[in-house]
Amino acid sequence: MAAVRLWIAASHDAAHRNGGWAFVRAGAEPVGRAGGERRTTRARMALAGFLSALKDVPAGAALAVVAPRPDALVLHALLKPPADPPTDAPDLRAALAKALTGRTWTLAIGDAAAATPTAFVTAWADMASEKAKASGAFEHAIPKPNLAKAKGL
């Protein structure tokens, strides 16, 4: 079975402490979701986006994850836990550790400046952060017409 391709991005506004995340999963029909929260961190948003992306991926499926550098650094601690593990977002880290048990996955840094799926999810994460600032926590599907316009899926 080929690896499930997944792009994830997070956004955080330090001044207002709101954040957002988005993911797109390639397949016969691309799937994407975006969400956000108030009073959060970028790391928490990256982890929340990854957890959301894994909700309906088959248990044995391998993953090929691509994220912008700041988010890839957060996710890397899940792939190769450091000697001194991060202490932020313990609830999300525990849920991800469980969801990733027995999975093979790779992590790559994506270019958020080029016309790529990484740029697409980065834009959606920024929009999600703004929506969370205005209306609080949410999670919604990215509309299919928007997914159809994403370059590289």
Q: How many CB atoms sit inside 10 A of residue 100's CB? A: 16
Q: Residue 140 has which token pair?
A: 């919604």
Residue 16 lies in a domain: yes
Q: Residue 62 has which token pair?
A: 């391998």
State the residue range of the domain holding 110.
Answer: 4-148
pLDDT at 82: 84
Burial class (CB within 10 angstroms; exposed 0-12, middle 13-18, buried 19+) of 43 = buried
Residue 31 lies in a domain: yes
Across the range 124-147, mean pLDDT stands at 95
- The per-residue pLDDT of the chain, averaged, comes to 92
**Pure H helices in 2-114:** 42-54, 69-79, 90-100
How does pLDDT run across 89-134, given as a tens digit for each residue? 999 999 999 999 989 999 999 988 888 999 999 999 999 999 999 9
Contacts of 22 (CB under 8 A, 6+ apart): 8, 9, 32, 33, 34, 35, 49, 121, 122, 124, 125, 128, 142
Number of domains in the chain: 1
pLDDT at 1: 60
How does pLDDT run across 44-70, given as a tens digit for each residue? 999 999 999 999 898 888 999 999 999
Q: Is the pLDDT of residue 2 over 80?
A: no
Q: Whole-angstrom Cα distance, residue 85 to residue 83? A: 6
Is residue 87 very low, low, confident or very high in pLDDT (cuts 50, 70, 90)?
confident
Q: Residue 123 has which token pair?
A: 């834009």
Domain containing 82 — which CATH number? 3.30.420.10
Is residue 80 very low, low, confident or very high in pLDDT (cuts 50, 70, 90)?
confident
**What does the DSSP assignment read for 97-133?**
HHHHTT--EEEEE--SSSSSHHHHHHHHHHHHHHHHH
Q: Is the pLDDT of residue 86 over 90?
A: no
Residue 153 lies in a domain: no
